[in-house]
Amino acid sequence: MKRFSIALQALRELGPSQIGWLALYKLGLKSGHYRRAETPISLAAFPLQSPFGLPDRQKLLETLGQNGLQALLQAADSIVQGQYSQFGAELVKINLTPAHPDLHWTELETRPHPTDIKLIWEPARFGWAFTLGRAWLASGDERYPAAFWRYFETFQAANLPYLGENWTSAQEVGLRLMAWAWAGQIFSQSEQTSLARRAVLAVSIGQHAARIVPTLLYAQAQNNNHLLTESAALYTASLVLPAHPAAQKWQKIGATWLKWCFSHQIDSSGEYIQHSSNYHRLMLQIALWLQALPGSDQIFFDSRVKENLALATHWLYCLLDFESGQVPNLGPNDGAYLFPFTNQPFQDYRPVVQAAACAFLAYSLPPGAWDEMSLWFQVEAKKLKVEAALPADLRLLGLYPSTLQVGSIAWAYLRTAQLRSRPGHADLLHFDFWWRGQNITLDPGTYQYNAPAPWENTLTAACYHNTVTVDGLDQFTRVSRFLYLKRADALRLKLPSPESLAARHYAYAGVRHTRQITALNANHWRIVDELLNLRRQPHTFRLHWLLPDVEHKLIEEKGLFKLRLKLAPAWLTIVIHCDPANVAWHASLVRAGSAVDPARGWFSPTYSVKQPALSLAIDVQSRENLEFVTDFEFSDAI
């Protein structure tokens, strides 16, 4: 009965189309249909075309500068030597050999993988090939194309068509296809690029495109970045191999679903369907990739597509902390950075924001080291109506209603959403606070999707976010590793003061949570959480803050809790009290896990990376209405 109830709830929230497509996909797996209907492996080589516009070498060198050039060549040299930056973090070995190279992908898809399969997939995306190509154009050093072809041939030998983990996900196949298509063009003038190698590359690109088409049902069922990236890969393949018999089919399928994605996967506020800042960046990069391709007017001519991409760019623009280049670590973060045309670190969103603003908006960021990506996407020369606008300027004008900016020093984001699609995290009324380029209240991130307990996508839960939980419950009902049902909305409230934000939700039965943020000044912010106990039943209310791992001092006074953090260049004092003042409360501070909850007190800036953080929680048991008041106050004295 429980499974039946969950199925009905999923049908109501996801809709019959998504459920139906997923059922058909699973039926195809179970029946062996995909293996029987597989396109025969063709060795026919069709001419490779070069549809990508490449920047002028001198312009690239001017944009990079001497320091930027050295950083690029150093990164490329590491790849030549066999290491790449995994998920934008530490250098690891480029391993292109899957764990089960002799098993058909359908067999692997129907069995649980013993390790986190993303660690196998990531190097096989060939995302590091963009670094080699950038270094080749900048330097002309033949070691870089030689390294690409060496790795390509290693992959070919270890990953025969449709066998092994690197063929299980059509999205991974599509991302690799796009990287190879681009590399095939940029290295075309290298002495390392023989006609024979280009022929093998053309054959493999055709095989990759053929793998995507039969299982597009799964991407349609997911209705997220899978559908977007796989459609983009098919469209790309049609331009790279226009003489291929299936090219027209690939282009038609790709263009149809791309228009659908850009029309339906971006909501009226500009937020991408996956409720994730990193997946939002991925979506904008796909849009930038496509707009740089010939014939893409058939995708972008639609006024709704243009408007949605402008809204989506504006959404990310307003969440950018210009000083650090970072944005709130909102929602699932799988470490994806599809087209890393930049030396800027993974957490720096300025390259994509700049390129997308040039392409889809009438204003842009000021020029800087983040401009290289705009060169590669051929948008740097577009004439703008407004030269440059800082995100702080837009927030001061109230151009994104869930953010609050005070001067040039501090700003905040209050997580509100009307969830028309499945959320990745339970983060209603999460508070993300930034002061002088430092993220003060942290969104925990993801860490890993597929790992032994407690790391099986655990950080999605509300208890790890900067919000209030009730009775240890989550805000939504989690029915699987990636699926939340019975979702609720957090709706903004209108306030007379421009220095305040407020919103509320009813995610917990019998409790209304209202949060109000007030900037008393740039260095003093107050957060008031009102818990209205509608049924007067006893509850345990927990207020949680996830904070940077810095030197700190605990101070407990009667009726107050104080935590002092040593930041640069100031002390931050956090003061918390409850109303009514005589209520019994318990405070706990955890760093890097505890015996009770090993996942508490961690922050994950990118996939498979976790860093210690300070987790502060105040627990109160009450059957009455309750109010938490938290003050964040900065002082110049250290």
Residue 483 confidence (pLDDT) above 60: yes
- Give a yes or no: residue 585 inside a domain: yes
- Give a yes or no: residue 533 inside a domain: yes
- Give a yes or no: residue 428 inside a domain: yes
602 three-class SS: strand
Give the integer Cα–Cα distance in Å for 118 and 165: 10
Q: Which of 14-18, 482-486, 593-597 has the highest mean pLDDT?
A: 593-597
In terms of Cβ atoms closer than 10 Å to its own Cβ (0-12, 13-18, 19+), residue 243 is exposed
Instruction: Of 113-117, 145-149, 198-202, 309-313, give the lowest mean pLDDT range.
Output: 113-117
- Which amino acid is located at 492 in the chain? R
- Give a yes or no: residue 436 inside a domain: yes
In terms of Cβ atoms closer than 10 Å to its own Cβ (0-12, 13-18, 19+), residue 77 is middle
Over residues 2-29, the mean pLDDT reads 82
Residue pair 505/429 in contact by the 8 Å Cβ criterion: yes
CATH of the domain at 441: 2.70.98.70
- Give a yes or no: residue 116 inside a domain: no
Q: What does the pLDDT look like over 408-435, one tens digit per residue?
A: 999 999 999 888 888 999 999 999 999 9
Burial letters for 423-440: b for 16+ Cβ neighbours within 10 Å, e otherwise? bbbbbbbbbbbbbbebbb
Residue 383 confidence (pLDDT) above 90: no
Domain that holds residue 574: 403-635
pLDDT value for 1: 60
How many domains does the chain contain in total? 1
Residue 637 confidence (pLDDT) above 60: no
Q: What is the C-alpha radius of gyration for the chain, rounded to an integer number of angstroms?
A: 25
Q: What does the pLDDT look like over 164-203, one tens digit per residue?
A: 999 999 999 999 999 999 999 999 999 999 999 999 999 9
Residue pair 528/538 in contact by the 8 Å Cβ criterion: no
Q: Report the candidate in 479, 481, 425 with the shortest Cα–Cα distance to residue 452.
A: 481
- What are the tokens at 520? 């008393």
Q: Report the candidate in 90, 241, 109, 253 with the shortest Cα–Cα distance to residue 168.
A: 109
Give the integer Cα–Cα distance in Å for 523 and 433: 12
pLDDT value for 17: 87
pLDDT value for 124: 98
- Please, which residues bridge with residue 530 across strands? 514, 627
- Give a yes or no: residue 607 inside a domain: yes
- Give a yes or no: residue 131 inside a domain: no
300 three-class SS: helix
Pairing outcome for strands 552-557 and 626-635: unpaired
Give the integer Cα–Cα distance in Å for 189 and 340: 22
Burial letters for 326-352: b for 16+ Cβ neighbours within 10 Å, e otherwise? bbbbbbbbbbbbbbbbbbbebbbbbbb
pLDDT value for 582: 83
pLDDT value for 382: 67
Over residues 352-357, the mean pLDDT reads 96
- Give a yes or no: residue 435 inside a domain: yes
Give the integer Cα–Cα distance in Å for 534 and 287: 46
Q: What is the DSSP letter of 414?
A: E
412 three-class SS: strand
